[in-house]
Amino acid sequence: MTNWRKTIKIKHLLTEKEDFVNVQNSTNKIANVLKEHFEFRSILKKLRNIPKGDDYFSPSDYANKILDEMYDIANMEKIWID
């Protein structure tokens, strides 16, 4: 069993909508929470600058890639994301 160092609550900030405005609003709110935790400084700029997308990748695709990075950092640093 993993001994988590701390818990960060962000799941309530996620959106199910996939349009640029809603995705960017969501990731900005997540960045506001994560900026208080030095472990995530490397992804803050990415969270605040989600690409608008194109024919191949939507804004939510980009956001999901960055959130994957966030979860990787959290696992490495033993931080529970709730």
Q: What does pTM read for this prediction?
A: 0.94
Distance of alpha carbon 55 from alpha carbon 46, whole angstroms: 20
Q: Tens digits of per-residue pLDDT, 1-58? A: 679 999 999 999 999 999 999 999 999 999 999 999 999 999 999 999 999 989 899 9
Token readout for 61 is: 């695709």
Q: Report which residue type is found at 28.
A: N
